[in-house]
Amino acid sequence: MKPINDVATLFENQRAVRAFSDRPVDDTTVTEVIRAATHAPSSQNAQPWRFIVVRDPAQKAVMSEVYEECFLQVYGAGAPARADGRQPWTQVPVLIVCCIGVQGRPNIATGASIYPAVQNLMLRARSLGLGTVMTTLFRLQRDRFHEILGIPEGWEAAAIIPLGWPDRNYGPNHRPPVDEVVMRDRWTEPQPNL
């Protein structure tokens, strides 16, 4: 995918990328996307984040295995293992585990202090021509992931972001016209279906 500098175009071209080429992603690039993440807003400017950059094949293999179990748990044995083009995490160049400190803040707003950072990371990656996908499915096996990754008490793995050069070109994302999700002055839509 081509790099993108224009911000409006960037939003329209962020896609979920789940398959990557063999091209390595160097440390400078990884640092740059994480640097972008750390410029995100957070509640009380606490910046309660840590990022684990996973490159070790053995570590990726274990994570991949457990992630596949989560996938199976949700989509069932009938779900095609790879027909969706998704690669196993063993083939992903870098996995970035985005963690949030939750000491004393375990409520709905907790996620609000990590997901802006995650989005910054993903948008910066896309601007450079890299692909990412937000994943949270691994949370079904939260304890095992925490053990594999050595995440201490008081911290939560909130998202795992596979990062790499995409396997192919991805077009823009498709979303309905904005009028379909906007109301004026009060809620007027009868019974929205999600």
Residues that bind ligand FMN (CB under 6 A): 15-16, 18, 133-137, 173
From the list 49, 28, 54, the residue with the least C-alpha distance to 38 is: 49
Q: Name the 3-class secondary structure at 163.
A: strand
**What are the backbone dihedrals phi and psi of residue 131, each rounded to the nearest 5 degrees, phi first?**
-110, 150
Q: Could you write out the DSSP letters of every residue in 31-97?
A: HHHHHHHTTS--GGG---EEEEEE--HHHHHHHHHHHHHHHHHHH-TTS-SSTT-PPPGGG-SEEEE
Residue nearest to ligand FMN (CB): 137
Give the whole-angstrom CA distance, residue 79 versus residue 77: 5
Shortest distance, position 92 Cβ to ligand FMN, whole Å:
11
Containing H/E element for 101? strand 94-101
Shortest distance, position 170 Cβ to ligand FMN, whole Å:
7
- For ligand FMN, the closer of residues 14 and 62 by Cβ is 14
From the list 121, 123, 122, the residue with the least C-alpha distance to 9 is: 123
- For ligand FMN, the closer of residues 31 and 144 by Cβ is 144
Shortest distance, position 137 Cβ to ligand FMN, whole Å:
3
- For ligand FMN, the closer of residues 15 and 124 by Cβ is 15
Shortest distance, position 119 Cβ to ligand FMN, whole Å:
9
- For ligand FMN, the closer of residues 59 and 136 by Cβ is 136
Shortest distance, position 154 Cβ to ligand FMN, whole Å:
22
- For ligand FMN, the closer of residues 31 and 173 by Cβ is 173
